[in-house]
Structure formats: structure tokens, C-alpha cells
Structure 1
Amino acid sequence: MSDKNKIQLYEDKQIRTLWDADKEKWYISIVDVIAVLTESIDPPAYWRKLKQRLKAEGNQTVTNCHALKMLAADGKMRKTDVADTEQLFRLIQSIPSPKAEPFKLWLAQIASERLEEMQDPEITIDRALKQYLELGYSENWINQRLKSIEIRKELTDEWKKRGLKEGIQFATLTNIITKAWADKTTKEYKVLKGLKKENLRDNMTNTELILNMLAEASTKDISEAVAPKNFTESKKVAKQGGNVAKVARKELEAKTGKKVISPLNAKTFLQEKKTKKLKSDNEKE
């Protein structure tokens, strides 16, 4: 199965999804959908009861649902019940909610958008740009973030070329790069910023993003130059690439007297930005 994990937003609430390129369909976390539609304080319990009732009624939709690993709140990949869009349309009929109809429209839209993106990858970038702008990020930061996505893709393509596996090996190499340039593991970095399942790069400052890009671009370039033969050799390359950015970070910190690695996260930054704007608007009035 070739897949793509992604967090979708519906009314500012996160819904975990997974794209199966072979079957060309989305798989969506059922408990996340229940959380949106019911606002239950315990969506997993709501789903367990609903599943029992539907099974007792002989509902085949529930029987056909299966579990896939998705990113949990604790930052680990854990199995959760998922449904494709067709199955979800049927399940929604069993959940009394005034949000049912608008949610169906949203569900149909993301399925359509993914198929469009497969035909024209530029659409993916355009939609990402629009979403970041809506969230309140600056255009300068967005440009850096989109560039970081491109550089990350080049690096993972290089890893695939060397026969490395997505999942644990990619995560291990990424952790080595981060530890090398930032002096923190990915987990330690996220803890510093107060993150759980949020994307670390989406919560980096401009400078952090630039140095992370330098580390990943350097790792890719070194890998192309030395052609590591296995995972062990690639780990050495990852550390070397990260060290290139570490040198730049240390020099910058020496010149400015300020730490580059910041506890600032997007939620805090964007809230502060909004507060400052409101204060400025009020002063003008």
C-alpha cells in the first residue's frame, strides 16, 4: 500500500486521514469525525457504543471498517478505526448531528481535491499556500515553508534511491539530522515548543526553518557525493549534513547573542500577532 498521512482541518478541528495511492481513496479516522459531529467528551467511547449497536443491527458498513496506524496525541503511530469516504457517508446517517450535511460536502470536496492534485501537483502547493495564509502565517514564512517541503522531498527521494525504507529508517535519519544541528532530538524539540501531534516544521521560526533546510539539503548533497551503501552509512551522512547547519547556527548565535532554537510555537505566535493587530486597530480608532 502506498499511502500519505495528512491532517485535514474542518472548522479548525483536526481530522487524521491517510491517502492510499493504489486504491486512490482516502481513509479517515472515525473517532475524529465523531469528535467533530457530536462534540462528545469521549469520542472513542461514543464510537464503541455506536459500533456495537450497528453490528447488532447487521450493518455491513461497520463490519467492513478496519484499523490503520495513524499519529496519536502522544506522538506515536497507533491503530485506529478508519473508513473510506463511501463508508463514512453511510456511518454519518447513524449519527444525529446538525453538522452532518455540511460535513458530507466537505468530505466530498477533499476526495475531489486529492484526485485533482494527482493530475496537477501545483494545485497542492496553491492549496497549502492558501491554508497557511488563512491561519495567519506571513508570506515570508510561507515561502520558506514551501521551499522546505521541496528540499525535504529531494532528501527523501535520495534516501529511497539508496534503498532506505520509509517509516522507522526515515524517522531515525531525520532525528539524527535534527539532533546534529539543533542539539535536540525531534521529540525534545517538540517538547520545548509544547507540541504533541502538531508538525514541528509548521512551528519553526524563519531562522529555524532555514537552518533545518540547510541541514537536509546538505545531507542530500553529501549522500549524492559519497553514495552510502546501507542504513549505517546513511546515518553517518545524516550527522554530517546536520553538522553543516550546526556550524551556521553556532556562528549566528555568537554574532547575535541570541539562541536560535525557540520555544515559540505557531499557536502562541499567531495569537500574539492577532492580539497586536487588535490593539493597533483599537489605538487607531
Structure 2
Amino acid sequence: MPIALAALLLTALLAFPGVLPDTPGHLGSLVETALPWFGLGIPLLLAWAAVRRSLKGVVFALVPAVTWAVLFGPGLVSFAGPGPGRTDLQVLTLNVGGDRTDPPDVARDVLATGADVVALEKVPNQALKTYERELHGAYPHHATGDTLGLWSRYPLREVEKLDLGGAWPHAIRAVARTPVGDTAVYAVRLPSVRVTFDKGFAVARRDASAARLRERIARDPTRRLVLLGDLNGTLRDRGLAPLTNGLRPADGRAGHGLGFTWPAAFPVVRLDHVLVRGFTPTGTDVLPDLGSDHRPVLAGLRADR
């Protein structure tokens, strides 16, 4: 029956998006990016079954519904704030671009989070001095590079800009002397992606930069490492697989909801992430709209022993 076939195809798409080819136009990456929204097909299947007065159709429609619930349901029932046990380090990432951003207001909101280490991306040149002035009291140590900035309660050393193959550095790295030992911290903004009629999902530059960043992280001698930033993609996107190989995402506990961060006014996708090595996430919260076009992500981390 048509409803059964449609339900099984939707289930297969939700459970195994990786089988889709990435050509033409990086179709696979695009589907993986929008994967939670394919759940909107479920009420359509149920409505179709109701119109047909088909009980079997309803049963078949429940198959992708259960699959969607298993994949994305935990995000709807997880809670914000720290999990059980101690939290050794709190980190924050925020892309501060966008026409609505007011640097003094954003800086005050950042201070209110109580984060120990803050990564700001897409910092306008004319706003950099404002952020330095407003954040200095709580974060006496900072490092900046082009449109990226790291602010820390703890001393920073070994600061370097990373060439990821773009026209300008897409990451900076520093080592923070935290209470749990030296921690390499990366502030990252990977190249933007676009959807166009002629090129499809244009992610080639982003994917190449992600692969180069992974090579640098693989060589990083520091045992504990935190990557903070706007990766311009979801962690389900195969183009970001190099970064998730060997790093642990702190995205699982994303507060109430699916943890979307962009666009801030009505977020539909998660572009901003915290990835770690040598830490266990104790809680992750996507904070309210602070005036940027992205929402900030605050994560608590516990050092592995």
C-alpha cells in the first residue's frame, strides 16, 4: 500500500541518511543537516491514513514516529544545567555577528553566564576594543585573531592562528592553565555554507577546513582539549565527520528542545558546538537570544582522570 511504502522510506531516511549519495550538490550533507525536520512527514502520513480510514496506515506511520523519537526525543526531555557530580570548567561559545548585536549588552550577558572560558566568533573589528574593555575584569587573559577571540579566567600561552586553507585564519588555539591542568582551547568559525540552484549545498570549503583542523587537533600534544565555535553545520553532517572522530560532542544535553542555535530569533539548525577530549560533559544549555544571529552554547565539563 502507498502509505506503508512512504512510511518505510521515511524510516529508512531517518535511520540511515548516510546511504544517500553526496552528489549532486552534496545532497547527503543537506539531508543530514535538515534531518530532524523530516519528522514533519509523520503527521502527513497520519493524516493520509485518517483520510483513507486505514488502521494499517496508522500503524505503518508509527514506525517512522518511533524512529524519530529514538533519534531526537532525548533532546526534548533533557534538562539544562549540570549533571551529576562535579563541574571543573564551564565554557561558552557565541557567534556575535549580525546587525542586531550590541557589544556592551552582549558582554554583560556573557559575564552573567559565569563561564570560565569564552570563545567569540565573527567579532567585528570595530567592536573588538569594546569586548576587551567590558570583559577584562572577569577575563584578564585573552587572545584574538581576525574575527575570533578567546577570553579566559586562566592564563593563556602558546597562542597561534591556524591556517585552515581559507582567505583568513578560521581558528585560533591557546593553552589555558586551568585548575585541572593545561587545556588546549580552540576558537573556530569554519567557512560559511550556502544553498544555491547551480551548486546545491556549497560545503566544499567548509569540509576542507574541517579536515585540516582535524589534522591539527590530531597532532596536538595536550591531553585535554576543548573546541568551541561555529562549525556551520550539524554534527550529523558527514562533512564534519573528521572533527567528531576522536572528539566528544557536548551536545547531548541541550536544555529543553533540540538545541538549535541558528537563526537566533527562530532557530532551525544547530551550527554552534562544543567538542572535547579529556573531559566528560556534565550539561549543555543553549541560551536565549542575546541579539546576535546565533544563540550561545554554555557547557559544563568534568576532567577525566
Give the structure with higher Rg (CA): 1
Larger relative strand fraction: 2
TM tier relative to shorter chain: under 0.3
Q: TM-score, normalised by structure 1?
A: 0.24
Larger relative helix fraction: 1
Q: TM-score, normalised by structure 2?
A: 0.23
